Amino acid sequence: MRRTAVLAATAAMALMGLVAAATPVIAQAPPGAGHGAKAVARTALAPPDVSVTNIRGHLSQFQSIASQNGGTRRSTGAGYTASVSYVEQKLQAAGYTTRRVACTPGCSSGAGPNLIADWPGGDENQVIMAGAHLDSVSAGPGINDNGSGSAMILETALTLAAQRPTMTKHVRFGWWSDEEQGLLGSRAYVSGLSSTERSKIKQYLNFDMVGSTNGGYFINNISTAAAADLRAYYTSINVQTEENVEGANRSDDASFRNAGIATSGVAAGASATKTTAQAQKWGGTAGRAYDSCYHSSCDTTSNISDTHLDRSGDALAYAIWTQAVGGTTQRDFSINASPGSGTVQAGGTATTTIGTTTTSGTAQRVNLSVASGLPSGATATFNPTSVNSGSSSTLSIATSATTPDGTYTVTVAGAGETASHNATYTLSVGGTSTNRSFTNDTDYPLNDYVTVNSAITSTASGSAASPVQVTVKGTHTCSEDLRIRLLGPSGTSYTLKNAGGTSCTNLGTRNYSVPVTQQASGTWTLQVTDMYSQDTGLLDSWSITV
């Protein structure tokens, strides 16, 4: 069930003793409000609703993974490693730094790795961790035990990534291997940490079986400080909680607690029986197991209580936001070039799209410029020259005939209101030319005793392929009046035809093969001189293939 932001904020602030629960409040202080440090801390962003629909989506994926791998996701099988890949890929796409940590020493032979995900930011010396075992028993797909905790912490992690709030503490998530063989994955992870790394972990919260269909609301080590936020969340929604007696020392929090780390967690219960008193306060059936499919093949997506699942996710979000999220969202953006590279011949123009994205807070104005790396003779143009983050601009880099061949890293600077970020674009000038044919389509009148020069800039590299092919198109009632020459980039002149003759023929289309020893790039000029009186005409176009 979704809580509204205002209700969540009200509950959060009521818990902190700031306001009565019924008093309407706003989640954030107005800009410039004269709050002291404490008041600012109390205006922490409201914890978000963690979507139970999305958690359900992850559970369906775990179910199909099991179905494709013999009906199980046990730590030593392909169903486990496929589960790791699924979670890993979601986290990476959201911006997490993920690590597969081998389940050694002491794990079952062939057990797949633990998966660790760090959300960048916050004080690295104060790490808040949440974890869930990702393996199942071999008897079934393990959707409540423990697809539920795995999917729930995954969706909470994705919700944090989507919001990108400022972080005070560092947040890390862990998905454990080989729990069902004796808490082995989490034990291997904790024992693999240096004592320094271990001491940075200020709290570990565990989520194992959080969707039991006849479940209860159990909190591990309920009277300790580590449990305070989880408790406070359930209190805020008027749900009573009890110590997780059944699960004591039976899940991965024990590995952390044994290493001296403060731990808590949430569970909805396994094979123990719901009491009459529990059924009275929580609903469900007294005298029946919390999860009647515990460790069996019927632990499928049908074996889940959405209400328990949803509340556990909101409880974790409440704990994370209360402990590790700052009071305001820093506005920020990112910038990139797509494509990130391009090739042109000297004289050509490369274009790319400079994209910007709002990564936190509201959009901001970003002014674009080239900070460095443009080759000589080149000019850069942005259209438009500034964008609101979330929009894009077209960057055109026009090189000139004199731009030297080479590879250039062009740095595009995006100067925003709260931050500046760069993108890079790799521009290659020269190399293998794809186009070696060029045309000048400009019309030139061919008048008596007049010379016209029609130029073509070739961007083809290397030597001209001799003989170069020239096509001249035009009209002239007596082409015998015309002398036609070609001037190469080096200045050498080649006569294509001389004037003279005894009768008159129209110019039309003429093809010439011209042996040359020339570089291909640069200016080729067709020079046409009408050497006699009376007849005139028009040079339509000419082309050259070098």
Residue 337 binds which one of Zn ion, ligand DTR, none, with CB within 5 to 8 A depending on kind?
none
Let me know the angle formed at the C-alpha of 374 by 370 and 375, rounded to the nearest 5 degrees.
Answer: 170
242 given a catalytic annotation? no
Give the Cα separation of 433 and 493 in Å (integer): 25
Name which position in 49, 88, 145, 481 contacts Zn ion (CB under 5 A). Answer: 145
CB of 251 to ligand DTR, least distance (A): 4
Residue 246 binds which one of Zn ion, ligand DTR, none, with CB within 5 to 8 A depending on kind?
ligand DTR
Task: State yes or no: residue 299 binds Zn ion (CB under 5 A).
Answer: no
Give the Cα separation of 435 and 320 in Å (integer): 59
Amino acid at 439: T
Choose among 321, 318, 322, 316: nearest CA to 155: 316
- Percentages helix, strand, coil for the chain, rounded to the nearest 5? 25, 35, 40
Give the Cα separation of 416 and 168 in Å (integer): 24
Name which position in 138, 144, 146, 358 contacts Zn ion (CB under 5 A). Answer: 146
Q: Which residues contact 307 (CB under 8 A, 6 or more apart)?
A: 1
Nearer to ligand DTR, 226 or 267 (CB): 267
Residue 270 binds which one of Zn ion, ligand DTR, none, with CB within 5 to 8 A depending on kind?
ligand DTR
- Name residues contacting Zn ion, limited to 173-212 (CB under 5 A): 208
Active-site choice (88, 155, 179, 180): 179
Q: Where are the beta strands (DSSP E) in 109-216?
A: 114-119, 123-133, 169-176, 201-207
Count the alpha carbons within 13 Å of 183 in the hemisphere toward its beta carbon.
Answer: 18
CB of 83 to ligand DTR, least distance (A): 15
Distances (CA, A) of 526 to 249, 375, 479: 91, 30, 15
Which residues bind to ligand DTR, rule: CB under 6 A? Answer: 145-146, 179-180, 208-209, 244, 246-247, 250-251, 267, 269-270
Choose among 483, 489, 428: nearest CA to 452: 483
CB of 425 to ligand DTR, least distance (A): 51
Residue 244 binds which one of ligand DTR, Zn ion, none, with CB within 5 to 8 A depending on kind?
ligand DTR
Maximum Cα interatomic distance, the chain, rounded to a whole number of Å: 122
* Stretch in the footprint of Zn ion (CB under 5 A) among 140-148, 347-355, 503-511, 536-544: 140-148
CB of 327 to Zn ion, least distance (A): 36
* Neighbouring-strand partners of residue 18: none
Residue 267 binds which one of Zn ion, ligand DTR, none, with CB within 5 to 8 A depending on kind?
ligand DTR
Nearer to ligand DTR, 59 or 484 (CB): 59
CB of 140 to ligand DTR, least distance (A): 12
Q: Which residues are catalytic?
A: 179
Chain residues in the site for Zn ion (CB under 5 A): 145-146, 208
